[in-house]
Amino acid sequence: MRLISYNVNGIRAASSKGLGDWIHEGDYDVVCMQEIKASPEQIDHSLFDGYECNWFPAAKAGYSGTAILTKRAPDFISKGMGNDLFDGEGRVIRADYGDTTLICAYFPSGSTGEVRQAVKMQFLSEFTDFVEKLRMERPKIILTGDFNICHKAIDINFPKKHEKVSGFLPEERAWFDSFVARGWIDSFREFCTLPERYSWWSYRSRAREKNLGWRIDYFMVTDNLKPQLRNADIFEKINFSDHCPVYLELEL
């Protein structure tokens, strides 16, 4: 199974730049999207012919939202995690394939101030509870999306400079440490330990051109899926958004 995860920062804008053609050229089995910023009736479905499209838009127009596009129909689709605030923002969508579950998630950003940072920390706590409860029933899970957190210093440009910035705060990184300690694997780091591999760049100060980026988009897998990992990568040259796609290949 070949999977892509991509924060498209507006599916209509990304589609106008060639997103649909790129997906078809890659012939991916599953495409997970975050920040679609559109309702299903606003999306040109012909761009994704051959895929079953499962959209989970936010209640607020032009905001947030997630999606799973899949060539093989899942056995089960679920939207939300039972929290009205986060479900209203379309942040978590799930698809089951046999004994394996795929979760596509868009974690909140805390960059706009203390209120949203508190919301972000609440999400981290409630999402952990949600996914750990799910693991009791579904032990094999692939978790992907925009986490809005750089886990380690290697995942961000000039780490010292960003220690007090949302996305690299000590409490966020401590959450990530505790999450991994529960039995989760960062699939990309199983295949690449090089620095300066990023998945998001600010639109300001020519950050992408200078590769002043952050790695905040992940494919995490439960440790019982480690033997099935075949490849993971970051497609930095794909430029339909301020993010780029991340890739996972595994045997199911």
> In the prediction, which pLDDT does 25 show?
97
Q: Quick check: 179 and 218 in contact, CB under 8 A? A: no
List helix spans (H) across the chain: 11-16, 19-26, 84-88, 114-137, 170-181, 187-191, 207-210
The catalytic site residues sit at 146
Q: Quick check: 148 and 108 in contact, CB under 8 A? A: yes
Q: Quick check: 11 and 36 in contact, CB under 8 A? A: yes
Q: Quick check: 134 and 182 in contact, CB under 8 A? A: no
How large is the average pLDDT for residues 38-57? 97
112, pLDDT greater than 90: no
Token pair listed for 134: 């799910």
Q: Structural domain boundaries of the chain?
A: 2-250
Query: Over the stretch 51-97, which tens digit does the pLDDT of each residue have?
Result: 999 999 999 999 999 999 999 999 999 999 999 999 999 999 999 99
Pairwise CA distance, residues 242 & 183, whole Å: 30
Pairwise CA distance, residues 53 & 187, whole Å: 25
> In the prediction, which pLDDT does 68 show?
98
Q: How many CB atoms are closer than 10 A to CB 15?
A: 19
Q: Which fold has domain 2-250?
A: Deoxyribonuclease I; Chain A (3.60.10)
> In the prediction, which pLDDT does 77 show?
98
Q: Chain-wide mean pLDDT for the chain? A: 97
Amino acid letter, residue 229: L
> For residue 130, what pLDDT band results from cuts at 50, 70 and 90?
very high
Query: What is the number of helices (H) and of strands (E) in the chain?
Result: 7, 14
Which burial class, exposed, middle or buried, applies to 224 when counting CB atoms under 10 A from its CB (0-12, 13-18, 19+)?
middle
CB contact burial 166-189 (16+ within 10 A = b; e otherwise): bbbbeebbebbeebeeeebbbbbb
Nearest to 167 by CA among 181, 179, 156: 156
> In the prediction, which pLDDT does 189 show?
98
252, pLDDT greater than 90: no
Backbone angles phi, psi at 67, to 5 degrees: -160, 150
CA distances to 12, 35, 146, 172, 213 from 101, rounded to whole Å, are: 28, 21, 18, 25, 30
> For residue 111, what pLDDT band results from cuts at 50, 70 and 90?
confident
Q: Is 0.85 surpassed by the pTM of this model?
A: yes
Token pair listed for 88: 């209203």
Which burial class, exposed, middle or buried, applies to 71 when counting CB atoms under 10 A from its CB (0-12, 13-18, 19+)?
middle
